[in-house]
Amino acid sequence: AQSVAQPEDQVNVAEGNPLTVKCTYSVSGNPYLFWYVQYPNRGLQFLLKYITGDNLVKGSYGFEAEFNKSQTSFHLKKPSALVSDSALYFCAGGAGGFKTIFGAGTRLFVKA
Amino acid sequence: NAGVTQTPKFQVLKTGQSMTLQCAQDMNHNSMYWYRQDPGMGLRLIYYSASEGTTDKGEVPNGYNVSRLNKREFSLRLESAAPSQTSVYFCASSEPQLAKNIQYFGAGTRLSVL
């Protein structure tokens, strides 16, 4: 069965420090991988995706993610966190069909 | 740009009552989805519609029905609400062929079943 795991319920980081939000996946074939962000009382917003090509994917708001096939990981990163980055982050994946599997979400707190 | 619009935003039901959640998108997307979001469980797919005229079950379809009314609209119906259906419901749309299934979400409907 396909699955996406986010091992951390919460990540705390100081403003200006680098942040990493972890994601591992189990998807058959070549995976399509995504990161979404959810702000309070809002729907999910797309941040970035990996379909094929370069393992380092750049997305919105200065975020990037690194695809690692051997470790089946797709960690979200940002070199310098902002307080406004505080939100709920979801990793998602699929095999290219209509069904996308979402992780449980990781809450990011950035402290000023 | 409205994107994906869901109504209502909030709803309180008594056990056994029925209701329909409405969703409309103005991006001319072929595919639409209904998810529920529960704490610690991420988003779980209830039903989806790959294209107008088709609907398919997702991970948690029991207790729900859907209608793809036209290309723009995809509704979710609870025939006899149960407390276990207390959740936040999200509608999403996508254009799989063009954007590799990047999904665009509505703001959600918060449903409480008492």
* pLDDT one-digit tens code per residue, A32-72: 999 999 998 888 999 999 988 889 999 999 999 999 999 99
- Chain A residue with CA closest to B102: the answer is A46
For the record, the structure tokens of A63 come out as 């975020």
Average pLDDT value for residue range B43-54: 93
Q: Is A31 on the interface with B (CB under 8 A)?
A: no
In order, the DSSP letters of chain B are: ---EEEE-SEEEE-TT--EEEEEEESS--SEEEEEEE-TTS-EEEEEEESSTT--EE-S--TTEEEEE-SSSBEEEEESS--GGG-EEEEEEEE-HHHHTT-EEE---EEEEE-
- Chain A residue with CA closest to B49: the answer is A98
For the record, the structure tokens of B17 come out as 């009552």
Average pLDDT value for residue range A98-111: 92
pLDDT computed for residue A99 by the predictor: 82
Average pLDDT value for residue range A69-95: 95
Mutate to test the interface with B, among A100, A101, A106 (most CBs of B within 10 A): A100
Min CA distance, A98 vs chain B (Å)? Answer: 7
Q: Is B23 on the interface with A (CB under 8 A)?
A: no
Q: Is B4 on the interface with A (CB under 8 A)?
A: yes
Q: Is A42 on the interface with B (CB under 8 A)?
A: yes
Q: Is A28 on the interface with B (CB under 8 A)?
A: no
Chain A residues near residue B42 by CB distance under 8 angstroms: 90, 102-105
pLDDT computed for residue A95 by the predictor: 79
Residue A25 has pLDDT above 70, yes or no: yes
